[in-house]
Each structure stands twice: as structure tokens, then as C-alpha cells.
Structure 1
Amino acid sequence: MNFHFFVGNDNGNSEHDLIIDGRWIAQPNVNCAVDELPWSEEQQPESFVKQLQEQLVVTIDSPAARPGMYYIGQFALESGELLDNLQIGIDLKSDMDLPVVNTLAQIAAVAVQKAYEESNHIAEQIEVEADMATALPVTQHTDETSAKFERRFTSSPHHVTVHLGTRRVAVRITFPFVKAVPEATPVIFTLQKDEDGKWRDGDIFQQFAASYGMDKKFNGSYFKDKRILHVDIGDGSTEYPITEGNKFLRQFVHGSHHGAGYAIEEALDDFNRLIHLPNSPRQFFSDVLKNPHHKYYARAIKTVKRPLESQVKQIVQHVKRQLTKSRNEVDLICVYGGGSILMRSSLYPHLHELCKERELQLLYIPDAYAVQMNAMGLNAFVRGKIYEGLKSKAMQTV
């Protein structure tokens, strides 16, 4: 079977968020290399397909990454095996195998699911051609690193075996064109348009519109010519680019090594001590913090509160630095990213006061959308005319 996919791929330090062929996928951005399959008893391969992302085991054969068998995402996190993850503030994403392996695995998994949905049987071989937009942190994004990251996908085909119990599905993936952009910049597309190309509206803007006495029919057309200071708070970095309309203003490129992950790293030993574990991975702590019903939630919040406040102070200082550099010529500050959820109670008052002082508006993206903003923007970008033009130009020079 043959498929063509559009892929919006946000490889975060903590979470891997992708939109593949219109399907939303969110998984912990971890994997582990293993020597054998985890299943000993015979299971029907069909039973794996629906929840494949939660029990994803693949074998990778690609020049872009170390070949071998891997548990991916949630399955790796729950396996008890030695995890490979992105070391915040240390690893260059363009050099790491992890983003490549996890991206290939997730694309292959969607191909297996789509083939089953269309034919009602497990395919033996699948060919996938993928157009992909992905991102690198502003602090790591240069012409050289972005080209290097793109080549890891485009330079040759990748062979992925997806294991459905003892049944194997061979998926061959090729990328005719990939574009790696600075993180946060795709969000300008998310703010303006929805997945159908219409002006975005709804509860994502509800608090913002109410705060500034906007019309109830408020939609994304408001942002089409606005100058926006983005504050994209991740695990390992925060990006502060300034955009104007659909343009990324290169003179205001700025990012810092601050984020929720640093607070979590600092609090991790105390957290492990309180729950009587010798160690547990950062992603486990992150999962607990996302779940108010988890039995360890109160202890997690207690241990992370002080380190988070330290990160908030640093982020506010970097926001002020960007405002000073731009002479306050910004219409609004837009805050999002996984870290923005944890920091909201502490960060929102600081930024609200700053915006009043400097005559700006504050759009603090609701929790339900905060993590998705980059992936949604990358998905809009890969399907749009700018990507199409870049691809066409690149193909002419080949």
C-alpha cells in the first residue's frame, strides 16, 4: 500500500506532539533500545492496531540513526528499561538519534493504522511519502543546524518494522522535502487559521476577548497584522521570537535555557525522597504534575513550587529584555507551551502587570491548547503555500 502524509512534528524535550495525516499524537519523547520483543504469548495482531501508540515497538534500519529495536514513548516510559531522552540544556536536537527514531516510529505506526482501516487486514508492506515541517529551538536554529536536521530525513529512505505481537509490518518512509523552522514561529499560523483554513475562533480566545472588551465574534483575523512577542515555555528552553503578521523578525531572535524541566530536575531528588523511590525519570515527574488526581500530585507540586518561581523570574527578565530591544513596539505578548501550564499561577500576574505598564495586551493560551500550539502551527505550515513554494524551489535546484 502507498500513502502520502503531511506531518507537523513538534519534538519537545518532554513530549512529542505530531499531527500525521490529520491525526493528533502526543507521547512522552523517550525511547529505549532493547534486544527482544516484550510479548511471549501469541496475540492477535489486530488487537494492537487501535492503541498502537501506547504499545509501540519498532525496529529501525536507517542511516540517520542507530539501527536496532526500540520501545517508543509511553511503552518505553512504563517498561522499566534504561531510557533515552533529551538532556535539557545539553543535547542539540539536530545531532540526536531520539527525534529521528521517534518520528519514524510514529509515522510508521499511523501508516499501519491507516492501512488496516482501509483494507480491514494487516498489511505486510507499506510505502509512505511524507512532507514534514518540524522545528528546532531558537537557541539551536541556524542555517547549518536546520539543513543538517532536514538532511537526516531527506538523504535516503528509512525502513521501519512495526511489531504487532509476533507479526511484522515493513514500512518504507521517504521524505521528498522537510523544513525545520525556529520553534514558536509556526504559532502565527495557529492563531490565525484553523485546520480547515478558516479564521480561528472559539474558547481559545474567550478569556482574551473578554479581558479587552472584544466583540463576541472575535476570531484569528485580529492577529493577521499584529506584532507579537511569543513566550513559548518548554521543558528545556523558552523561546521569545517576535513576529509581525506572518513574518518572523530575525533581528529579534532570542531564546534562553529556562523552562519547566529545569525546575523539575531541581525538585526531582526531593520528590523521589518523598515517594520513597531511589530514582524516577523526569518524564514520570512531568506526568504526575499533569494529573491532579495522581496520588503523588500534592507532593509533586510542593517540591516543584520554589524551583518554578526561580524559572518564572528568569523568564520575566528575558521578556523585558525583548521588549526593551524592540522599544516596546509590540502589540501583544502570547504565552504558551507545556511549561506555561505549570507556571500560570506565578507567571500570569507578572506578565499582566508588565503589559499594563507598557500598554500591551496579554494572550495567555488556555491549558487545553498550550501544548498543541507548535504542532498545530507546523501542520498548518506544511499544508500551506509557503511550504509548497519552498519545496518547489528546492526541487528545481536538485
Structure 2
Amino acid sequence: MNLCVGIDIGNAKTELAFESNGQIQMVRQPSVISYLPKTPEANDLPLEQVMENLFDNLVVNISSPSIRRNGDYIVGKKAMQHDGIKTNMTLSLGGKSTHDVPIITSLSLVAATAIKDHYENKEELPESLSIDLKMATAIPSSEFSKQNAKTLEDRFKTKHNITLYVGDYQVLVSIKVNECKVTEEGRTAMLAFFNSDDKILEGFNKIYGENKAPSDFMKARTLHADIGDGTSEFVVIEGANPVQGLSKGKRLGVGHASDVAISLLRDHLNISDKFTRQQLQDWLEKDNERGQLARDVMKEATFVQSQSILEEIQLSFQELASSDVDYILVHGGGSITFKEDIHEDLMDFAESNHFKVVWIPEKYATTMNSRGTYYLAKMMFS
């Protein structure tokens, strides 16, 4: 099986973008793993039910020369629910190019995607699969260098064996990564933007009374503010091409606000030291007292973080872009979390400095990196 994918290896989630039946599809899981000291017991659920919830119940055995410890792992949402030691990305340290979490989560999603595709098309579970993979991904500007990019490319570009535990069955997936491109986060966003439908500009057109489509930005000079979980990336782009040397990453984002919120939460509740940022995100969706408390402390934490992000956008406009852009595009998961605290002030700043703000809608904001890396992989390798 040949696969071409883009992978967003975020601090909060890992998202895989690929093409199926002429449409871009995305699958995602929290960027959390938990090592298992012994092989897990199989469940006795019907295979149809197991396959329906496959991505939320990833249990794998991984053998790869690119990770420190081979063995059994729980990955993603299921790892968050596990009572063992959880491993995610350490925001203060960064290091996506050397961390094992991006390798394990990415390969697990690739394996699960291939198995699910085979099951749905062949109406049977395969005993084994072989995948020739071509891929692109990205690391933060604050970490990016040619050497760090090559380190991650080399870690992916080898053969990995993933055994996925599927109910009572075990499926061996051999993944050979033939091509891998690692670029800077934020640089692929314009590829995703140009390949989006016109609805991505619905809010922009309503605010400014215009009727623009993504293709109208082909010659524009833009500044991208990609607000993530562990880092936020700021990149100046001419048309579709990043301007060499005009990009930077800052350790700002939803994860940092989440860490503050968890600290505030501990003042109210006796929560475990193992409580993760990803678990907090789950609590924020709950319709109960814990959910309301989580939302209250998160609101307090996001306001402080949002002021730092707003200041960094303004500095990037003045110093990185030399106060010369037509538009600032704001996207990433943090663009949803921080919009209430940033949007109005940024609009005022834009009006004073004679540029316009394209705030990417929630439907598109969190997939810009995964879709962008997919289009990059497709352009380079297909």
C-alpha cells in the first residue's frame, strides 16, 4: 500500500491528513502515550464495534530504531484515560525533533488508518500490511534548523513495525518511510489556505464588505500568526512563499495557559499530579460543576496569555515584517481559545496601521498545518 500524508505533530494533538476518494480526510488523537510493562489483555467486544472506535482505543506494539524503548504503548485518548504514567511533550523544553512522542503517535495513526481503510474496503481484517509512506511534517520555528529538520527526517526515514491490538486480533503493519520532508511550522499554512473553499473568507468578507476568494491573495504580502499549544509561529509570506529569515517562534499558546489553569484548579480540587493538559481540555467540555470550574480557571489563565500573544503579533508586524503587510492571518487551535481576548484589540491595531485581519474560522483553523503539510508532501513526492 502506498500512502502520502501530512502530519501535524502538535503539543496537544497529532493530526494526520491524507486523500481518500478525492477528498482530504483528517484523523487526530491527543499527543499522549503511556508505556505498558506487559502486553494488555484483549477485550471481547465484537470486531465491528472495535473498528468503529479504533482511533480512540489505540494500543500498539512498536519496534523501531528511532525510539528509545520498543514495546507496548497506549496512544492518544485511551492513554489519557489510563492510570499509568503518561508522557506528552514538555512545553518548556520543546525538542520535537528528538522526542519519541511524535514518532509513536504519528506511526500509530498511519497504521490505524491503513487497517481501517483495508477493513472498510475489503470487509475483513488483514493479518498484516506493508506501507510505503511519503510524508511531510513541521517543527516550531523556535526549534527549527537544518540539522534539527534532518534529525527528524532521518528518524522517520527507516522501517518501523507496528502491531496494532484490534480486539482479539493483532495486525502487523510494516511502515517504510521512503520520503520525508520536515519544514517550519507556519510555512505550510498558505498551501492550506489556497486549497480551501471560499467559505474560509466568509467572516472576513462580511467584516470588510468584500467578496474575496483565497486566490485573490496570490500576490499579497501576509504575516501569519499560527497560535498553537506549546508554541506560536510568526511567518512573513509573499504570495505562497515564506520570506527567508522572516520567521520566529515563541513559547506561547494554549498549553501554557492550560498549565496555569491546572495550577489554579489545584487550589480548588485535590487533583492528581498526573493530570495532563489534554485531560483539562476534556474537562472544559463537561456539562457539570467540574466543567464549569475548569472553564472559570481557564478563562482567567487565557486572558494573561492572550496579552502576551497580542503583543508578540504587534511586535512581529513592526520588527519581523517592518510594518509592511497587506494582511495578518490568524489561525491554529489557539486562535479559537484566545479570540475573545485578542480579536477586538488586533482589529483596532490593524485599522491604525492600515492592514486587514483574516481570522481563520474555527472549521479551518486547527487543520491548517496538517492540510498544509499534506499539500507539501503531494507537491514534492506525488
Q: What TM-score do you get using the length of structure 2 for normalisation?
A: 0.94
Report the 3-state secondary structure (helix = DSSP H, G, I; strand = E; otherwise coil) of the residue aligned with 1:172: strand
CA distance in 1, matches of 2:227, 2:105: 22
Return closer, same or farther for 1:359/1:105 CA change in 2, 3 Å cut-off: same
CA distance in 2, matches of 1:249, 1:69: 43
Residue in structure 2 matched with residue 52 of structure 1 by the alignment: 54
CA distance in 2, matches of 1:231, 1:89: 20
- Structure 1: which 5+ residue stretches go unaligned? 195-199, 392-398
CA distance in 2, matches of 1:42, 1:55: 14
Q: Higher mean Cα deviation, 144-153 or 35-44?
A: 35-44
Within 5 Å, give how 1:1-398 maps onto structure 2: 3-22=1-20, 23-65=25-67, 66-154=69-157, 156-194=158-196, 200-202=197-199, 204-215=200-211, 218-279=212-273, 280-289=275-284, 291=285, 293=287, 295-325=289-319, 326-384=321-379, 387-388=380-381
Task: Give, in angstroms, the shift of residue 286 of structure 1.
Answer: 2.0
CA distance in 2, matches of 1:296, 1:225: 49
Number of residue pairs matched by the alignment:
375
Task: Give, in angstroms, the shift of residue 295 of structure 1.
Answer: 4.4
CA distance in 2, matches of 1:89, 1:41: 38
Return closer, same or farther for 1:18/1:294 CA change in 2, 3 Å cut-off: farther
Q: Does structure 2 retain, via aligned residues, the 8 Å contact 1:49–1:112?
A: no
Q: Higher mean Cα deviation, 313-322 or 26-35?
A: 313-322
Q: Does structure 2 retain, via aligned residues, the 8 Å contact 1:227–1:242?
A: yes
CA distance in 2, matches of 1:315, 1:136: 19
Taking only aligned residues, the RMSD between alpha carbons, in angstroms, comes to 1.7
Sequence identity (%): 26
Deviations 1:357-380 (A, max 9, x none): 100100111222221111111122
CA distance in 2, matches of 1:340, 1:327: 23
Letter of the 1:269 counterpart: S
Return closer, same or farther for 1:123/1:329 CA change in 2, 3 Å cut-off: same
Letter of the 1:10 counterpart: D
Return closer, same or farther for 1:63/1:334 CA change in 2, 3 Å cut-off: same
Task: Give, in angstroms, the shift of residue 318 of structure 1.
Answer: 1.7
Q: Does structure 2 retain, via aligned residues, the 8 Å contact 1:115–1:123?
A: yes
CA distance in 2, matches of 1:133, 1:176: 11
CA distance in 2, matches of 1:296, 1:365: 30
Return closer, same or farther for 1:292/1:211 CA change in 2, 3 Å cut-off: farther
Task: Give, in angstroms, the shift of residue 165 of structure 1.
Answer: 2.0
Q: Does structure 2 retain, via aligned residues, the 8 Å contact 1:46–1:122?
A: no
Residue in structure 2 matched with residue 396 of structure 1 by the alignment: none
CA distance in 1, matches of 2:89, 2:288: 25
CA distance in 1, matches of 2:43, 2:15: 32
CA distance in 1, matches of 2:28, 2:50: 18
Letter of the 1:201 counterpart: D
CA distance in 2, matches of 1:97, 1:265: 22
Q: Does structure 2 retain, via aligned residues, the 8 Å contact 1:39–1:165?
A: no
Q: Does structure 1 retain, via aligned residues, the 8 Å contact 2:16–2:110?
A: no
Letter of the 1:174 counterpart: K
* Higher normalized contact order (CA 8 Å, seq sep 6+, divided by chain length): 2
Task: Give, in angstroms, the shift of residue 21 of structure 1.
Answer: 4.1
Report the 3-state secondary structure (helix = DSSP H, G, I; strand = E; otherwise coil) of the residue aligned with 2:322: coil
Deviations 1:285-335 (A, max 9, x none): 12333x274543321222123332222222222222222222211011111
More strand by share: 2
Letter of the 2:93 counterpart: I
CA distance in 2, matches of 1:320, 1:247: 22
Task: Give, in angstroms, the shift of residue 264 of structure 1.
Answer: 1.1
Q: Higher mean Cα deviation, 29-38 or 260-269?
A: 29-38
Return closer, same or farther for 1:46/1:11 CA change in 2, 3 Å cut-off: same
Q: Does structure 2 retain, via aligned residues, the 8 Å contact 1:191–1:223?
A: no
Q: Does structure 1 retain, via aligned residues, the 8 Å contact 2:94–2:143?
A: no
Return closer, same or farther for 1:273/1:50 CA change in 2, 3 Å cut-off: same
Task: Give, in angstroms, the shift of residue 57 of structure 1.
Answer: 0.6
Q: What TM-score do you get using the length of structure 1 for normalisation?
A: 0.90
Report the 3-state secondary structure (helix = DSSP H, G, I; strand = E; otherwise coil) of the residue aligned with 1:347: helix
Deviations 1:340-368 (A, max 9, x none): 21111101112111101100100111222
Report the 3-state secondary structure (helix = DSSP H, G, I; strand = E; otherwise coil) of the residue aligned with 2:338: helix
Task: Give, in angstroms, the shift of residue 276 of structure 1.
Answer: 4.0
CA distance in 2, matches of 1:46, 1:127: 23
CA distance in 2, matches of 1:286, 1:35: 28
Letter of the 1:190 counterpart: A
Deviations 1:48-107 (A, max 9, x none): 222210111110000011211010100111122211100112130000011001111110
Q: Does structure 2 retain, via aligned residues, the 8 Å contact 1:235–1:262?
A: yes
Q: Does structure 2 retain, via aligned residues, the 8 Å contact 1:275–1:296?
A: no
Q: Does structure 2 retain, via aligned residues, the 8 Å contact 1:20–1:110?
A: no
- Structure 2: which 5+ residue stretches go unaligned? none
